[in-house]
A and B are shown apart, each in its own frame.
Chain A
Amino acid sequence: MPRDALQGTLDLLVLQTLARGTQHGYGITCHILAASGQQLRVEEGSLYPALRRMESAGLIKAEWKQSENNRRARYYQLTKKGAGRLAQEMQKWEQHTAAVKSFLEFA
């Protein structure tokens, strides 16, 4: 898959995670890992720059808060614009997989 599509997938995962509530970077990796049945491991080297990029684009916003174990952590939260983007990305993903699926079935 082209790089754009890969990045799109990461964005989709992150946005979907944040749709459930605010979360810090580490929490996001944990959730994606757990929710995908230990299948999808997001690398820190991709996640953190992606978070920064989405923040600059206004899809998410960040806030320093106290974490469960009393350390300062940067919590991310979905913005209205981000929620819109999430819906868009989900639709795109479904179209994409449906297209691939129908291709495979045809063959």
Chain B
Amino acid sequence: MLRKFMNSLRRKRLDEEIQEEIEFHRSQSSGPFGNLTAIREQMRDASTSAAFESLLQDIRYGLRILARTPGVSAIAILSLALGIGANAAIFSLVDRVMLSFLPVTQPEQLVLFDEVQPYPRFKEFRNRSQVFSGVAGTASLADVAFNGSDNPENSLTGRLVSGNYFDVLGVQAMMGRALSDVEDTGPGAHPEVVISYALWQGRFHADPAIVGKTIRLGAGRLNSGWGSSGFEQDQPVVPSNRDFLILGVMPPGFFGETVGERPDFWAPLTMEEHFLPGRHWLSRRTARWVQIIARLKPCCSVGQAEAANNILNRQLLVEEEGAGLSEARRRELEQDKIKLLDGSKGFSGLRNEFAKPLWILMAMVCVVLLIACANLANLLLARGTARRREIGTRMALGVDRPRLVRQLMTESFLLSLFGAVLSVPIGWLASRALFTMVSAGDPALALNLAPDGRVLLFTGAVAILTTLLFGVAPALRSTRVDIHSVLKESERSTTGNRSRVTGEKAVVVIQVALSTTLLFGMALFTRTLYNLRTQDLGYSPERLTTARIDPIGAGYKGEQIGEIAQRVLEKLRTQPGIVAASYSDNGLFVGRDSGTHIRVNGFQPSSPKDSLARFDQVGPGYFSTVGIPLLLGRDFADTDTAHAPRVTVINESMARFYFGKRSPLGQTIFYDSRLKFTLTVIGVAKDVRDHLVRDQPPRRFYVSYMQPVDGQMGTDYEIRSSLAPAVLDRQIRQAVHSASPRLRIEYIRPLDKSIDNSLLRERLIARLSILFGFLSLLLGCAGLFGIMAYSVGRRTREIGIRIAIGGQPHNVVWTVVSEALLLVVGGLLIGIPVALLLSRYLQSLLFGLTPADGWSIFAVIVTTGLMTLVASIIPARRATRIDPVSALRCE
């Protein structure tokens, strides 16, 4: 069979061979040879496959047809490539983020705890859980100093994992061995790591004798704002570098359980003290930082496991609280439930945040492809009409209809094939650009987006589906011809066969309807982004820069943290060009916030939620630096030292909620966590949006950094200055360095940038919906233009007559434009109700407008109207220039 295909492909060579063989025979024998041509034909037919032969014929013919109109073909192929490529790009993100299973054994058995847990509690879960065959803990590290270098470019990302981590995932090392339970014993006792394939290939140049060598690692930071340090800081620490023994290398595809992370190494959780010096999180019961991943026993369902797990969780919590547990506290603990998340596809912050947007974008990009298909269908319909004579002639000569349909479908498949091939690089580049946008946050994410089998398969499937969509109808219609009338018919009949254009017109109406939905989505999302960007925060974010330092990592503890924070502040304030500066524990718009239960005398909470309030620990001059007006009372003063009575400033919402019309000044609030404080209210600050633009400001209170109620995690400086960013950057570094050379700066970032980062999702959707919207406009314009130009062409004679009997140019223009408008109005009448129906599903993604936003509908109508004018004005003007004499004579 293969041989036959080969022979079909090398046809010329086959003919030559046949000729040579026959000639040899004739040279040997003198007898007659019979009908040479017939024999040659028979030999050729016997050596080739007839079906394949005719397919090849179709392909050759199709290529010739495509090459005959190179411009049109190129546009068709390019629009298909863009459409398919955009689909492949979004799909590859959807696939990597949401559909791909982890590269581990039986991923469907894995579950994730929905909240990070303290290390001691993790150990209890690991030892006492009955429903899991294994419970592993892990935490992500960023900016780990490598080879004693302080250069952040040179740092590594890693993961702290429990010894059974690789066992639970069911993954083995490629070389050497993975960590084991042994490495779980004794804090700091096992300076050992397993490294990633990438690190081995890169920094170690694939050294075959890597196992047993060492890698020098310094301190790093916990990747994510989840941790909370607990209160006491007791032992002094000095970060240091240390040699870690390399136990093994993991296989290439393995990245752990978190999608979007590519750790360079995995070290035992028990080495926490080395990587996160000064935290002592291994023994803290209040520091939540360990992500737990567990493998279900085959007999257990997720529901059963969750129930059993929560019973154990409650037991652990009650044991930790010890005797003397109040009834209220017991009820509170009842509320603390752990949900088990499906772990088969790994853990992904991306997934939670981007699942809905990605599906919406996937839908939008499908619509773009549909519009491109509509264009192609119209192109082919028009081409089919132009080829009526050719097709009629071929049918008259005896070619059967299925053969012709096959021929036309082959042409369509060729278009798709070229489009699909071209779409692969387009899709790859687009998905990378997209991912760069998604991962622009801190820390940067990593996904391998090179097109793999799944993406290629998807591309192929889309291409085939596309071909069927745009190819079948035109192929069927073009071949439904009445041979007699076609052969008799002249190329230009008087008014054209109007009914024959209805197909094309219907396609244009559908196209307009489709692009209406996209444009409506685009209007909603851009307006949402605009509303978010212009939302009044309660202060001006301009000229405000934030910088974060890590005093704990530098070895400061207890009261020293406040002292060094203050020393840096004083240095900052002396720098020229810095108008005002202050600091806070959580900073602004960096995704870090604190909350606690409180009690207020005279306030009866109706649910546990009522006693929740957010808080922050702030430095002197915080309110004036950020620009938060104080409505009542006073700011913190120098007299509010560590040993003075504890005081607090609360926000409006909190004052209203707990004190109503009473003046809150002088009232007391009980900070009611494991540590209990009494705070006296000294002031009321205006409500501001300081962490999320979208949400209403929550109840919030502020305490002085000098009177901390919770351990400080770091110090975030807010600096108001009109200096150029580069200059300011240098001054901040100088100030921090002169206060203490040991202090590490985690980032220096304008507040605007942080706000932008917090709106990443909205920006992504808005940008892409604009892109898709304009793409659909462009395609729609091209489609409408095509049909109008075609229609004017067909009506040349009619228009010529009208001009001859005195029709005015503007009447002619109106004839054409009104025809286009009719189509567009039809499209809008279908499109707008559909768009309104669909937009209800977007509700949760919108801000400051309803899904039936009037302005957006208006914008869609105006844009579509403009598109109609642009697309029909050229054909209309061409119509006015028709010379009546030649139009009538050209019959």
B17 touches A52 (CB 8 A): no
Check if B43 sits within 8 Å of A48, measured CB to CB.
yes
**A26 touching B24 in the complex, CB below 8 Å, given contacts A44-B39, A48-B39, A49-B39:** yes
**Tally of chain B residues near chain A (CB < 8 A):** 22
Q: Which of A29, A43, A56, A67 contacts B3 (CB 8 A)?
A: A56
Interface membership of B644, Cβ < 8 A: no
CB closest chain-A residue, reference B14: A52
Q: Taking the nearest CB of chain B, how far is it from the CB of A56, in angstroms?
A: 6
User: Is the Cβ of A55 less than 8 Å from the Cβ of B25?
Assistant: no
Chain A, residue nearest B4 (CB): A56
Residue of A nearest to B48 (CB): A56
Residues of the B chain whose Cβ atoms lie less than 8 Å from the Cβ of A85: none
Contact with B along A79-97 (1 / 0, CB 8 A): 0000000000000000000
Given A48-B39, A56-B4, A26:B25 Cβ within 8 A = yes
A53 CB–B CB distance under 8 Å:
yes
Main secondary structure of the interface of A (DSSP, over half): helix
Q: CB-CB < 8 A to B39: which residues of A?
A: 44-45, 48-49
CA distance A73 to B22 in the complex (A): 10
Contacts of B45 in A (CB 8 A): 49
User: Contacts A48-B22, A74-B17 given: A26-B43 contact, CB under 8 Å?
Assistant: no
Give the distance to chain A from B344, nearest Cβ to Cβ, in Å: 48
**How many Å lie between the Cα of A43 and that of B17 in the bound state?**
20
A-B contacts, CB under 8 A, total: 57
**Pair A44/B33 contact, Cβ less than 8 Å:** yes
Q: Are B34 and A43 in contact (CB under 8 A)?
A: yes
The residues of A that contact B27 with a CB separation of less than 8 Å are 71
B20 beta carbon closer than 8 Å to chain A: yes
Q: How far is the CB of A8 from chain B (nearest CB, A)?
A: 16
Cα distance A50–B17 in the bound complex, in angstroms: 16
Is B43 touching A74 in the complex (CB atoms < 8 A)?
Answer: no
B601 within 8 A of A: no
**8 A Cβ contacts from A55-80 to B:** 55-56, 67, 71-74
Q: Which residues of A contact B3 (CB under 8 A)?
A: 55-56
- In the bound assembly, the distance between CA atoms of A53 and B43 in angstroms comes to 8
For B46, the closest partner residue in chain A by CB is: A52
In the complex, chain B residues whose CB is within 8 Å of the CB of A72: 20, 24
- Interface contact A24-B46, CB-CB below 8 Å: no
| Contact in complex: A48, B21 (CB < 8 Å) | yes
Please pick, from A25, A29, A44, A53, the residue contacting B46 in the complex, using a CB distance under 8 A.
A53
Q: Which residue of A lies closest to B39 (CB)?
A: A45
B43 engages A52 (CB within 8 Å): yes
Inter-subunit contact B22/A26 (CB<8 Å) = no
**Chain B min CB distance to A62 (Å):** 9
* Bitwise interface map of A from 10 to 28 toward B, beta carbon under 8 Å scored 1, else 0: 0000000000000011100
A66 to chain B, nearest CB (A): 11
Whose C-beta in chain B lies nearest to the C-beta of A27?
B28
Q: Which residues of B contact A53 (CB under 8 A)?
A: 46
Please determine whether B38 and A45 come into contact, CB atoms closer than 8 angstroms: yes
- Chain B: CB-nearest residue to A54: B46
Is B47's CB within 8 Å of the partner chain A? Answer: yes
Closest approach, in angstroms, between the C-beta of A102 and any C-beta of chain B? 36
**Beta-carbon contact of B24 and A73 below 8 Å:** yes
Q: Which of A26, A45, A48, A52 contacts B28 (CB 8 A)?
A: A26
Docked CA distance A49–B42 (Å): 6
CA distance A74 to B24 in the complex (A): 9
Question: In the complex, which residues 575-610 of chain B have their Cβ closer than 8 Å to any Cβ of chain A?
Answer: none
Tell me whether B696 is interfacial, beta carbon within 8 Å. Answer: no
- Are B25 and A44 closer than 8 Å at their CB atoms? yes
Are the C-beta atoms of A25 and B25 separated by less than 8 Å? yes
If A49-B43, A49-B46 touch, does A25 touch B38 (CB 8 Å cutoff)? Answer: no
Docked pose: A26 CA to B25 CA in angstroms: 5
- The docked-state distance in angstroms from the alpha carbon of A53 to that of B49 is 11
A50 CA / B47 CA spacing, docked (Å): 10
Tell whether B499 is near chain A: CB-to-CB under 8 Å: no
B47 touches A45 (CB 8 A): no
Interface residue B35 (Cβ < 8 Å from any Cβ of A): yes
Check A25/B21 contact, CB under 8 A, given A56-B4, A71-B27: yes
Q: Chain A nearest CB: distance from B703 CB in Å?
A: 89
Q: How far is the CB of B49 from chain A (nearest CB, A)?
A: 9
Counting CB contacts under 8 A, is B29 at the interface? yes
User: CA of A2 to CA of B100 in the docked complex: distance in angstroms?
Assistant: 62
Q: B residues within 8 A CB of A56?
A: 3-4, 46-47
- Complex Cα–Cα for A48 and B28 (A): 15
Contact of B24 among A24, A43, A45, A55 (CB under 8 A): A24
Q: How far is the CB of A96 from chain B (nearest CB, A)?
A: 25
Beyond A45-B42, A49-B42, A74-B17: 6 further Cβ-contacts under 8 Å?
A44-B33, A49-B46, A56-B46, A71-B24, A71-B27, A73-B24
Q: Supply 23 A–B pairs (Cβ within 8 Å), ascending by A.
A: A25-B21, A25-B24, A26-B24, A26-B25, A29-B29, A44-B33, A45-B35, A45-B38, A48-B22, A48-B25, A48-B42, A48-B43, A49-B42, A50-B46, A53-B46, A55-B3, A55-B46, A55-B47, A72-B20, A73-B21, A73-B24, A74-B20, A74-B21
What 6 A-B pairs have minimum CB-CB distances, sorted nearest first? A52-B46, A49-B42, A45-B34, A53-B46, A26-B28, A52-B43
A residues neighboring B (CB under 8 Å): 24-26, 29, 43-45, 48-50, 52-53, 55-56, 67, 71-74
